[in-house]
Amino acid sequence: MNSPLDDLKSLGRYVITYQSKKTRAFGRLIEHFKDSVVEVLMLKRGRLQKRVWHLSMGVLALIGILTSGVMGGNSIVASTLPGLGIDDPRSIQTYDPLAAGANQNFLVKLRTSVSQKPRSETIDYQVKGGDTLSSIAQDKGVSVDTIKWANNLTSDVVKPGDTLKILPVSGVSVTVKAGDTLESLAKKYQADSQAILDFPFNDVPDDFKLQAGQTLVIPDGTPPEVAAPPKPKITSPQFLAQGTSPTFSAPAGGNFIWPTVAQGISTYFAWWHPGIDLPNRSAPPIQAAAGGVITYAGWDNTGYGNRVDIDHGNGYTTRYAHMSNIYVGDGQRVSVGQVIGQMGSTGRSTGTHLHFEIHFNGIAINPLAILH
């Protein structure tokens, strides 16, 4: 027979375990609420984003304070929700690949600093004592050049009391003039038109026609008089052949090959863009990055166009979007390297490319961390 002390210890362990489960369940409930808010913003294409976003962030901040540690942790990978379009504001969840046996190389430094704090608009920031342009840029999640361009600064010197305009992401902000198009602005500011379209707070209609006077953020854009930064080299295969593409073993046994032949990377992974865009004007075939079962093959009306999702059975799924043709069907099993469709420009797309995503346990991770 157990002693009263043993019974008390058992009761204590039970209470702690029970409370821990309840707290986690409450955290998941809050995440679902946040996801619902994001979906409303997507459907309204930014019309309600200020009021809803500020209210929801205030509520989440309060809950975060009251439940410190429950929803905290090391947030290192942006998350997305299956079924939402690529032009949707994405909620931020957390995923620590180190817990799954990965190393720090799992994270890839992108060519620009990207904010992990979704912000819809340019804000005014008053410089404080001890601030430097570099520290402000790091705190706000943008590049130093972005701040300098937005404020017409010719040096890195800032003084307490100065007011700086801070964009939501690295790049430039422009006011649309009569005759401007996504393509002309992308060319002028040395950026990608798809990135301008995909940025969730750019209110670009489905016909892509811009209105004179509207303000657009051009992610990774560069002023015309400034040379664009060199793009990093990628190791995409030069030809499409099963089993010949570079592979990398990811946590939980994920092995992936490049899904197509790319002419560079036009849009990189960010909180507002949960994958990478691989352009190629010749519209080559698209292959399964790993073996698995097709869970969706068809038209997606949220912006992806012709889309294919593959469940790889180990917590990983991949998504292939904007295809011109789909060669597989729901429930079909495919092998690594099998051709599943052809690159295209369907849905909210400005040119022939593949939008490619990798998800682990429902959270989008940077494909470049795996494909390298």
Nearest to 360 by CA among 139, 111, 80: 80
pLDDT at 15: 73
* pLDDT for residue 93 is more than 50: no
Long-range own/partner contacts, residues 25-32 (CB < 8 A, 24 or more apart): 26/67, 26/70, 27/67, 27/70, 27/71, 30/60, 30/63, 30/71, 31/71, 31/91, 31/93
pLDDT tens by residue, 335-369: 999 999 999 999 999 999 999 999 999 999 999 98
What is the CATH code of the structural domain delimited by 248-371?
A: 2.70.70.10
- C-beta atoms surrounding 169 within 10 Å: 28
Fold of 123-219: Membrane-bound Lytic Murein Transglycosylase D; Chain A (3.10.350)
* pLDDT for residue 201 is more than 60: yes
Is residue 360 within 8 A of residue 342, CB to CB? The reply is no
DSSP 114-164: --SS---S-EEEE--TT--HHHHHHHHTS-HHHHHHHTT-SSS---TT-EE
Q: Which residue has the higher pLDDT, 308 or 254?
A: 308
Nearest to 337 by CA among 359, 310, 362, 316: 310
pTM exceeds 0.85 for this model: no
Q: Which residue has the higher pLDDT, 87 or 25?
A: 25
* pLDDT for residue 296 is more than 90: yes
Q: What average pLDDT does this structure show over 309-333?
A: 96
Q: Using pLDDT thresholds of 50, 70 and 90, give the confidence band for residue 247.
A: very low
Q: Using pLDDT thresholds of 50, 70 and 90, give the confidence band for residue 104.
A: very low
Q: What average pLDDT does this structure show over 79-91?
A: 40
Could you give the strand order of the β-sheet that contains 325-326, starting from the edge strand earlier in sequence? 285-287, 339-342, 325-326
Q: What average pLDDT does this structure show over 292-298?
A: 98
pLDDT at 238: 39
Is residue 292 within 8 A of residue 337, CB to CB? The reply is no
Q: Using pLDDT thresholds of 50, 70 and 90, give the confidence band for residue 101.
A: very low
